[in-house]
Structures are given as structure tokens and as C-alpha cells.
Amino acid sequence: MLKGKNLLEPMDLTVQELEELFATADDIIENPEKYAHCASGKLMGTLFYEPSTRTRLSFTAAMLRLGGEVMGFSEPASSSVSKGESIADTVKTVACLADMIVMRHPKEGAPRIAAEHSRVPVVNAGDGGHQHPTQTLADLMTIRKYKGRLDHLTVGLCGDLMFGRTVHSLIRALSRYENITLKLISPRELVLPEYVRTSVIEKNGMEYEEVRRMDDVLPQLDVLYMTRVQRERFFNEDDYIRLKDTYILDEAKMNLAGKDMIVLHPLPRVNEIAQEVDKDPRAHYFDQVQMGMYMRMALIVKLLGLEV
């Protein structure tokens, strides 16, 4: 039962609960009209302590498409938060007004505090570099939708594997499925942290390989998950330019990949995927945005226990 639960990190959901969400999302895609009014009379409170237009729009679209309403703030400057109100007090107040709370916060663990003080479900919409569970839901749904399965896959993760929280969450989520092989593609400076390798990959007996060049593994991949290589991670401009170009996906690289490989990216991209790749039928990073919305719709339906 998902009704009344909080979603603070991807592993809060069991594999069965994930299946329930995928099935609901599938049904929403098939029969949108069936769900168009199911959240009528329900109100979502969106507490965005830092701006994230993309995530806020996705949650808002999800709620509106279910016939519900949304209220909240998109940056703390415009709210009582700027007057120094505690998270606990803000959440207690909003929980009296709304049926669920969606929170984005720059501090790690803030949504857990919200959950402790809320009588309605709390969904973490990103807490600093810590967790962003609905992004993982979008990633899983996209893989499942376009590959037809979440097991028996060779997944390439490319770019900044050290600081990329979406990558860590995805690895953790995939560790519960059978026969996943990971190809970790990154510069030496941005390799996957040791604790993820030992406490997730090795602990679950996942097969993996660390490689420096995308070209070496592209033909083997079922899924290529691209991430941003952020400028601020580097000490100097030369390193940045040298490294970022190694991890740019373009048409020439796509020619090395199998015809059934799919390309994902959590977006926004900088330049790690050349625009020419967008028209390639294997590019699914914009479909991923849509899958994210469908999963958020499914999540709202289940957390609120809506009747359809």
C-alpha cells in the first residue's frame, strides 16, 4: 500500500511498489481520460526552497492533468521562509491546507524533517546533492518503456560519476534487478565514489567495468545514461576542456552503438549531447521528461489513494 507514504529516497519503494507505479503510469498513458478528474478537490503544496523550474513544472503538470490544484512558492524569498520560519512550522502549516507536500531544498535531509512534521505525504523533489527520487522513477520508467524490461541489461553511465547523484540513485535502484552489467565511463578525476562501488555494486554482485573512453563500450550497451560534466568541478579551464570533449555524444559516436541502444539524460544538458543526436530515434531524453510526468501522476494517484 502506497497510500499515505512519504517518498524521500528511491529505496523507500519496494520493487512491488515500483511495479504498481509502472502499471498505473502505463494505464495513464493508455487511458488519460480515465484519470483526468480523479484528483478533483485535491491540493498539492509545492515548497521550493530553491528554484527548479523543470521539476516544479513536472509536478504541477502531473497534478493539473489529474484534475487537482497546486499552490506553494517557487523560491524562499517570496515566502514566510525568508522571515526565518523553521521547516517544521512551515510544513505543519501547509499540511493543514494541502493533501500532499512536494519539497525542494538545498540542504540534505530537509524533506525528512518535513516528513516528521507532516500529517500528509511528503515527496522529496531534490535535497541538495543527496536524493532526487522522482528523477530515478523517470529513469526507470523510460528504460522499462523503451527496452521492455529492467533486468538483463548492459547500462553505460557516462560523465561525472563522482558527484552525479542521479547516477548513484539509478545504480542503487538497478541493483535490485537481475543480470545488470554496468559500464562506468568517466575521466579518472570523476570516477564513481568507492562507497557506491563497494556498498552497492560489489555487495549486490553486479558486474561492472570502469572505462575511460565511451567508444570502447558503445557497441555493447543497451542503455547509455549521459550526465553533465560541470565546469565548477574542475580546478582549471584546460582540464575542463580536455575532459568534457571526451564525453560528448555526437552522430559519429552514435554510429558505433547498436540499433536498439537508448540514450537517456536527466537534463538540462550543456553540450555533452550534440544537438544532431536529437533526431536519432535512439535518443529518448525528452521522452524521459514525459515519463517523469507520468510517474509523478502515478505517484500522486497512489500516495493519495485516489479512486479511478
Partner 1 sequence: MVIDSIKNGIVIDHIKAGRGMTLLSYLEFDNEHDTVAIIMNASSARRGKKDIIKIENVKGTAVDMDVVGLIDPGATVNIIEDEVIKAKIRPTLPKRVENVIKCRNPRCVTASERGIRHEFVLNDAEKQQYRCVYCDEMVSMQEE
Using an 8 Å Cβ cutoff, are 280 and 254 in contact? yes
C-alpha cell at 158: 557516462
* Cα dihedral 144, 150, 154, 160 sign: positive
SS3 263: strand
Using an 8 Å Cβ cutoff, are 136 and 169 in contact? yes
Number of residues located near partner 1, criterion CB under 8 A: 15
C-alpha cell at 26: 502505463
* Greatest alpha-carbon span in the chain: 57
Q: What is the contact mask toward partner 1 in residues 31 to 70, using x (rule: CB under 8 A)?
A: ----------------------------------------
Closer of 105 and 244 to partner 1 (Cβ): 105
Is 165 a residue that touches partner 1 (CB under 8 A)?
no
Is 88 a residue that touches partner 1 (CB under 8 A)?
yes
Amino acid at residue number 50: E
Closer of 131 and 186 to partner 1 (Cβ): 131
- Give the count of alpha carbons within 13 A of 35, CB side only: 24
Closer of 145 and 165 to partner 1 (Cβ): 165
Q: Give least dist CB 113 to partner 1, A.
A: 6
Closer of 111 and 156 to partner 1 (Cβ): 111
Residue holding cell 555487495? 203
Is 129 a residue that touches partner 1 (CB under 8 A)?
yes
Using CB under 8 A, which of 42, 65, 104, 130 touches partner 1?
Answer: 130
Is 86 a residue that touches partner 1 (CB under 8 A)?
yes
Closer of 13 and 306 to partner 1 (Cβ): 13
Is 175 a residue that touches partner 1 (CB under 8 A)?
no
SS3 283: strand
Distance, in Å, from the CA atom of 180 to the CA atom of 96, rounded to the nearest integer, reads: 44
Is 203 a residue that touches partner 1 (CB under 8 A)?
no
SS3 113: helix
Is 82 a residue that touches partner 1 (CB under 8 A)?
no
Q: Give least dist CB 304 to partner 1, A.
A: 26
Closer of 107 and 242 to partner 1 (Cβ): 107
**CA 110 centroid distance within chain:** 18
Closest CA to 254 of 245, 263, 246: 263
Q: Give least dist CB 130 to partner 1, A.
A: 6
Q: Give least dist CB 94 to partner 1, A.
A: 16
Q: Which of residues 211-250 bind partner 1 (CB under 8 A)?
A: none
SS3 219: helix
Using CB under 8 A, which of 7, 13, 70, 87 touches partner 1?
Answer: 87
Using an 8 Å Cβ cutoff, are 82 and 56 in contact? no
Distance, in Å, from the CA atom of 221 to the CA atom of 223, rounded to the nearest integer, reads: 5
Q: What is the contact mask toward partner 1 in residues 89 to 128, using x (rule: CB under 8 A)?
A: ----------------xxxxxx-xx-------------xx
Closest CA to 301 of 96, 34, 81, 55: 34
Closer of 130 and 147 to partner 1 (Cβ): 130
Closer of 13 and 249 to partner 1 (Cβ): 13
> Residues in the site for partner 1, rule: CB under 8 A?
86-88, 105-110, 112-113, 127-130
